[in-house]
A and B are shown apart, each in its own frame.
Chain A
């Protein structure tokens, strides 16, 4: 047994040597930066440009939901340098002391980001110390004009029997409950048990009409005419319209979620300086423009907005909506561990129906 233990130890030591060896030989002349971003959320060309200009090697990793990202960062198994979570998740990370303050002196290009977006960021990052906005948008209804006759302006269409088996809902707790809470006229950050119960009952009532609960697949299914109505992020809406002109996006009158995804630097980041260089690079107007054109999610970079050549996109109500006309828009807040658990349990009840 002792022998076994020794050989295990030897093997582990050898393995770690090999692994670290790979790490150092693989990095660029000026070190590396480990980026953790949403899937398909950057123009890969910009990463190559960053590597060429700075000599810093980018190690790039992707996640599908905030909830998947969080435990990995919290466990610290991989030390990321730059992450791009959404609003409420940034708040949770700040609350749990996972983020490092960003030195804005190292990010001169942050001036390109519109002041209103920093204002909005105060909802989750009160002093604008931890985050630099990367993308923003709304959540709304995407519908197919050939399949829906009536004007769409309310979440209630997602409860209309006429469209049974033609409705796509978001398969994530907060987004699904946002729709139901807003439909019932409540805040999407509600922790009131009666309000949540009402929202849950609405979702259960809606379930027989729903074709499927999906995340990224809404896009492909709507383009392929699989469904008439879907709940979608505004950034995807521009892309889907490009592929299928019959699709139209609306922000429902009951209000919706205005979200921001921002760059943050975790506390255990091994390459904080490189991380700030990376964020600064992403804030440069030409890079922000490239990313916007590639991923079609609205950029808060006003300098880049001014550079958009296509007038239709530049004035697009979807990409850059005039949000002042709505008075019931909200941003997700972190609800605490108990709040999360409450939502998750209610969602499980909906799913188990």
Chain B
């Protein structure tokens, strides 16, 4: 195929990214760097330093970091188990893992609300069994739970992908040379899956950092994360300038995260599929 044809085939993609990625980004930057009169200002971005905003950012960083660590601890063993199964079984289990994602994310989070509520499903069962009730709804714990639940598949899939690409002969060679199970894991398996881990961390950390739905629904709107601040500036305060300015600050964190992952994952090995 000659290059003109290739370019032509790419046109829909270019149009798509121009309309839905480049234009919105430019608008965010325009709003973020101007005030209500349209004059240039850095105030929107610098307002991240106010106690309310920096606290919300700090809390969002903390909660998303905790969620990412929990996701990693859960996902790695799971990915290893999935990898060791034979083909028929594992496609079934992967399917089971992806199945909930066919349902709307909002609905699943709302379902957690119903489960965790004071008079919710879990507490009704606990009360019936005369066990102490679980009171985590409207606390940071519930938000972390919601983040882990929603983003776990994004951690499992890249790690699983990286694991399944490891040549069995490499591991056999390590064993031949006298390495025990732990040594094989630490010196062979783990280093070879680093791209997958990094990619998983990116894919969990970024949505967790910017979420506002999970903190609203499971935190009872009592816990203000940076995503909530941005959302409220747009929907309630109708101050698009401040909302965009804070989004730009958030973008810095996302870019930082992506730079780190690009350094570790040069060949794109850790991609999801």
Contact = CB atoms under 8 A, between A and B. Distances in A.
A344 B236 contact: yes
Contacts of A213: 220-222
B157 to A, nearest CB: 33
A8 B18 contact: yes
A64 to B, nearest CB: 9
A48 interface: no
Interface string A202-240: 000001001111100000010011100000000000000
Contacts of A70: 238
Contacts of A225: 119
A71 interface: yes
Interface in A59-79: 65, 67-68, 70-71
- Chain A residues touching B, majority SS: helix
A236 to B, nearest CB: 18
Contacts of A344: 232, 236-237, 239
B108 interface: no
B97 interface: no
Contacts of B236: 65, 67-68, 172-173, 344
A68 B222 contact: no
Given A173-B236, A226-B119, A341-B237, A210 B222 contact: yes
A18 interface: no
A212 B113 CA distance: 12
Nearest to A215: B221
Contacts of B135: 165
Interface string B233-252: 00111111000000000000
B118 A348 contact: no
A273 interface: no
B244 to A, nearest CB: 13
Nearest to A210: B222
Interface string A21-48: 0000000000000000000000000000
Contact of A351 (B14, B221, B239): B221
Contacts of B55: 352
B241 to A, nearest CB: 11
Contacts of B51: 352
Interface in B67-95: none
A224 B117 CA distance: 10
Contacts of B232: 344, 348
B42 interface: no
A225 B119 CA distance: 7
Given A225-B119, A344-B236, A351-B224, A4 B11 contact: yes
Which of A70, A213, A221, A352 has the most B CB atoms < 10 Å from its CB?
A: A352
B238 A4 contact: no
B15 interface: yes
Which of B51, B235, B240 has the most A CB atoms < 10 Å from its CB?
A: B235
Interface of B: 11, 14-15, 18, 51-52, 55-56, 117-119, 135, 138, 220-222, 224, 228-229, 232, 235-240
29 contacts: A4-B15, A7-B15, A65-B235, A67-B235, A70-B238, A71-B240, A165-B135, A172-B236, A210-B222, A211-B118, A211-B220, A212-B138, A212-B222, A213-B220, A213-B221, A221-B117, A224-B117, A224-B119, A226-B118, A226-B119, A341-B237, A344-B232, A344-B236, A344-B237, A349-B52, A351-B52, A351-B222, A352-B52, A352-B55
Interface of A: 4, 7-8, 11, 65, 67-68, 70-71, 165, 171-173, 207, 210-214, 221, 224-226, 340-341, 344, 348-349, 351-352
Given A340-B237, A352-B224, 5 more contacts: A11-B15, A70-B238, A172-B236, A210-B222, A344-B236
